[in-house]
Structure 1
Amino acid sequence: MAQLSDDCFAFGRPMMTVAETVALITSRVLPLAETESIPLCDADRRILARDLIASIALPPYANSAVDGYAMRGVDLPATGERGFQISGRVQAGSGERVTVAPGEAVRIFTGAPMPAGADTVFMQEDVRLGDSGAVILPAGLTIGANMRPVGEDVEAGAVVLKAGRRLRPQDIALAAALGEIRVDVSRRVRVAVFSTGNEIVAAGTPRGPTQLFDSNRFMLMAMLGRLGCAITDLGILPDDRAAITDTLSKASSAHDLILTSGGVSTGEADFVKDAVESAGSLVFWRVAIKPGRPVAMGVIDGTPFIGLPGNPVASFVTFAYIARPAILALSGAGPKPIVSTPVRTAFSYKKKKDRREYVRVNLRPAANGSVEAVKFPREGAGLLSSLVETDGLIELAEDVTQIQQGDIVGFIPYSSLY
């Protein structure tokens, strides 16, 4: 479990910026010490626990990059054409040792080992066969062309994947090419998740006329799953301080993080903050971010707690920018900031100073061939359709108060946020 002191997140300001919040979390949360060895086929999106060092070079032998004819570079014709006798044939996977002599060429195929003495390959499209069976090679090729030398891709002994890397399919391919069948990864972060509120019910159960089906919990669990977490679904808790306090206390003993949705604002029925203070300590609960200002962070028996807003868009955004960095820090992942892409706006917009704001947009081709961002036509942090029907967010920094149509802003696709 992550064992933190109650005051490890102590911060003097009443409202924190997004950058301050993330810096505080990532500097205080320690990565889990436990690791496990897993089959390579199960390693996608897991966090590499130890540097992966190449046990062999890639490629491990010099080979041809094309189908063609291998020869000695010193025999290349300087001008005009020259005929070479075909002295052999080498296919990919062949173990036969073939040597090329002066004035000879060897028929070779992509991936086949280079004949001894050969260092250059002519593409078959660039040559012709003479009447005598010789291959006619033109001038103009450079020594070493179309040949893959040993270690061109990876040198033996090199660190190819560093610890803390969140593994992707291409990383797994590289490990497989080196002959690895298992990798050491950090243990999955164990996260307990629950929603709060008398106004929400679980799908599949009767819904009252003033109630909503719980959607945030499923969204958060899906996002946690994409981060490789082991998830415990604690369901929906009523607006009851004692029940929430008891659940928090019990969950802290078996989990690395507790993540909740709803009940962290200032309403009379928002009991989560009080419950956190009863079970442990509340270290901050407001972040200068829109949507999503009420975000609570606490420590319960050494286990970090993050309480997200109840509005689904606010919950989504604050998970991406507050909870996600905490989870990656716990898992031992190396820092990987979310990078935005410059796009031109097709709308004007005003915002308050001193808070980071995220606006839902679609991308479309502009008349001049560039890409422009189009704002979703409706406002509101409760509109799930605004997340479904848009491509991502534009990020407006704290010092920005307005943008005009045609301004350049940073666009972040949803795929970058989990």
Structure 2
Amino acid sequence: MPGAVAHPLIVPLPRLLPPAGHAVRWAALSQLRAAWSGGRLDLVMPSGECLRLGGPGPAEACARVHDDRLFLRLLLRGEMGGGESFVAGEWSSDDLIGVLRAVLRGTSTRGIESPLTRLAQLPALLRHRAAANSPSGSLRNVHAHYDLGNAFYRLFLDPETLAYSCAYWPDPAMTLAEAQHAKLDRLCDQLALAPSDHLLEIGCGWGGMAIHAARTRGCRVTAITISREQHQLATERVAAAGLADRVAVHYRDYRDLDGTFDKIVSIEMIEAVGYDYLPGFFQTCARVLRPGGRLALQSITMPDDRFDAYRRRVDWMQTYIFPGSCIPSVAAIRRAAATARLEIIDAIDIGPSYAPTLRAWRVRFLAALPAVRALGFDAPFVRTWLMYLAFSEAAFVERMLGDHQLLLTRS
């Protein structure tokens, strides 16, 4: 593991000889302990020595440190460095969720940041700013994540809906597919979809919502995406479902929309719009929505009190998973929607359902690792995705994030 090849954006660091390694370890642990406010987290070193973060009592989780470069990355790059170190194979855990939850609690969601880490993250911040979601920027950003291949996503998403968004679990005994259908049904109910409606879906993924709405509510659907892979498979799935006469899937940017629609739905696409483009997104929606129409929006949401600080920085997820992304707060959505004279009239936070959704994806991903590798994805890619799925699950378990279904109409 210590010699593993890392992600190309991760800066290689020289191996630390014992005196330097011990000094860096002491500095990083001192910084962590000074800010730690949670329970006990054990760090087991290659020698077998167990280092403790937090107070007495049984450990909440345990991480195995394979290389002291973990501590150097923490000092230089904070939370982002911790994620990069995992991808580089410098630490691991049999309970990755437990470790990440302990870190989130121990640092009170502040992370492990300092003036030095913010300076070291400046190149990543500049890359993030350069990845703004202009029409061409959106194409690059969507391609980077969603065009990894339909065969890859089919390995861990439920095969019925291929929904890549928070499911809704009113009954914990539901399967992933049942919970995804429950989510789609709730959105259809919010919209009060009827057979006479023409529904627009912005960011249709692999066609799950479009197929569900046409099949269960009898409406016409126009669905758009700017992922070539999604467009191809969504079109095939619509035809296979016998719904080509009611569902049209177009390769199109939301800014290029024309026509008028009775209802609009967009499921966890707004995070890819970008903060500066939020007013324009809602102005497009208002322009194509008929008078009296409804817009249903599902979005991961940042707590209002953390949003301003979040949007001015860059994190591991924006660097390695979702380039150009920005998770909005409900207040940010409300303000941007108001510029288009749209107002929120109904809201529910289904965020507690995201942890079981992510857990189901992670279990399926782990079970499919031989198939993931057969598709040509290497060990650093696998560790990147394990960190992505695990950190997201931990964040939702700890209620660091929400996931709102919002209904908007003209004010």
Structure 1-normalised TM-score?
Answer: 0.23
Structure 2-normalised TM-score?
Answer: 0.23
Higher strand share: 1
Higher helix share: 2
